Amino acid sequence: MKGFKVVASPKLSVIIPVHNESANIGPLSSRLFPVLERIGLPWEVIFVDDGSRDDTLEAIRTLSLTEPRVGAVSFSRNFGKEIAIAAGLDHARGDAVVIMDADLQHPPEMIEAFVERWREGYDMVYGQRTDRSDETRTKRGFAHLFYRLFARFGEITLPEGAGDFRLIDRRGVEVLRLLGEKARFSKGLYAWIGFKGTGVPFVVEERQFGASKWSFRKLFRFAFDGIAAFSTVPLRIWTYLGFLISFLSIATAFFFVVRTLLFGTDLPGFPSLIVSIMFFSGIQLMSLGIIGEYVGRIFAEVKRRPLYVVAERIGGAAEVSNQLV
């Protein structure tokens, strides 16, 4: 790792994960750059090309020819947004780092407010969405359920409605970079590192071009990753359930003994037998599955593979590289 350069005035980095966003690069930069100029700090924009299959990288390359403060890190394949953010943090050089989406759902003008709060002394300034009306009811329902589960079982508190759109001070960035976990749940990591944080409300805008890359399946995995990374309750549930079931079975055994003593024995009982066998084998498979999920995560961590593989670097981002590849 290179040491920090002592800079006269603080510097702002904006990192933007992009996956097949070629149509958004132009509109985004023409709205973002004037905002950065207005703020007046030296700035850089680092795109993390997360294995785009369209000409996103070419669009960034063209842009970087006219604007040298634009750089890019391009992955060798799609690693997912969470990993792209991690790579952005590895390459950003600013004293404050802003993370934002490429599709203009995160209004660039908000960065001014972020920087203002940062200057007031906050290490973490997050955009807090005030309404989720752009999302379907089911998605909102599941999001709500997730936040409730997380609040109940997670080790940390997630601010409601806060996503990846945020500004992080250099010292927060350095801590985040130390957290090398593979199944990354950034929202949880932001909260885990602590520091003084504050929210700035904003309204999520319509996606400009292209479609959202989140399928229901992906979101479900993401939610499970989040819970599994910050809670061991799913593992422990089975202990309590085991106790409960053992207790019930002792009670049932007692009931049968008493009944046999009082009324003798009779043959019926097959339906209850089948039902209880099915019930308990279901529970056993489920608990094994949960344990398997955690074992799988342990396996992914102990392999110690690098988080991402860089295929190409463009512009300023090429200068700093703390990765081996």
**Beta carbon of residue 212, minimum distance to ligand UDP (angstroms, whole number):** 3
x/- letters, 197..216, toward ligand UDP (CB under 6 A): ----------x----xxx--
Q: Which is nearer to Mg ion, 50 or 103 (CB)?
A: 103
Q: Is residue 83 packed enough to be buried (19+ CB in 10 Å), middle (13-18) or exposed (0-12)?
A: buried
50 binds Mg ion (CB under 5 A): no
Residue 139 binds to ligand UDP (criterion: CB under 6 A): no
Shortest spacing between CB 124 and Mg ion, in angstroms: 21
**Of the candidate residues 44, 90, 95, 101, the single one contacting ligand UDP (CB under 6 A):** 101
Chain center to CA of 316:
26
Q: For residues 72 and 74, what is the distance between their CA atoms, to the nearest angstrom? A: 6
Q: Which is nearer to ligand UDP, 46 or 234 (CB)?
A: 46
Burial, 188: exposed, middle or buried (Cβ in 10 Å; 0-12, 13-18, 19+)? buried
**Should residue 17 be labelled a site residue for ligand UDP when binding is judged by CB under 6 A?**
yes
Which residues, 189 to 218, sit near Mg ion by CB under 5 A? 207
Nearer to ligand UDP among residue 143 and residue 237 (C-beta): 143
Counting contacts by CB under 5 A, is residue 20 touching Mg ion? no
- Answer yes or no whether residue 11 interacts with ligand UDP by CB under 6 A: no
CB contact set of 71 (below 8 Å; sequence gap of 6+): 44, 45, 46, 47, 64, 91, 313, 314, 315, 316, 317, 318
Among positions 24, 74, 105, 231, the unique one binding Mg ion when judged by CB under 5 A: 105
Do the beta carbons of residue 306 and residue 90 sit within 8 Å? no
Decide: helix, strand or coil at residue 264: coil
Listed in sequence order, the residues at least 6 apart from 12 whose beta carbon sits closer than 8 Å to its beta carbon are 36, 39, 41, 42, 43, 44, 94, 95, 96, 97, 98, 111, 115
| Residue in 12, 14, 57, 84 binding ligand UDP, rule: CB under 6 A | 84
Residue 63-82 contact track with ligand UDP, rule CB under 6 A, x = bound: ---------------x-xx-
Amino acid at 110: M
Number of Cβ within a 10 Å radius of residue 159: 16
Amino acid at 280: F
> The dihedral of CA 102, 164, 177, 197: what is its sign?
positive
Which of 13, 74, 105, 186: binder of ligand UDP (CB under 6 A)? 105
Selection from ligand UDP, Mg ion, none that 99 binds (CB < 5 to 8 A by kind) is: none
Contact status: 103 vs Mg ion (CB under 5 A): yes
Record the tokens describing residue 270, joined without a space.
């097959």
Closer residue to ligand UDP in complex, CB, 150/222: 222
Question: Residues touching Mg ion: how many (CB under 5 A)?
Answer: 3
Please identify which residue in the block is written with the tokens 């998605």.
139
Find the shortest distance in angstroms from Cβ 19 to Mg ion. Answer: 10
Q: Which does 313 bind (CB under 5 to 8 A by kind): Mg ion, ligand UDP, none?
A: none
Tokens representing 122 are 């906050």
Q: Tokens 């390459």 belong to which residue? A: 91
Q: Residue 191: how many CA atoms within 13 Å on its side-chain side? A: 20
Pick from 15, 21, 93, 172: which binds ligand UDP (CB under 6 A)?
21
Query: How many other C-beta atoms lie within 10 A of the C-beta of residue 87?
Result: 25
Residues that bind ligand UDP (CB under 6 A): 17-19, 21, 50, 78, 80-81, 84, 101-103, 105, 207, 212-214
Residues that bind Mg ion (CB under 5 A): 103, 105, 207
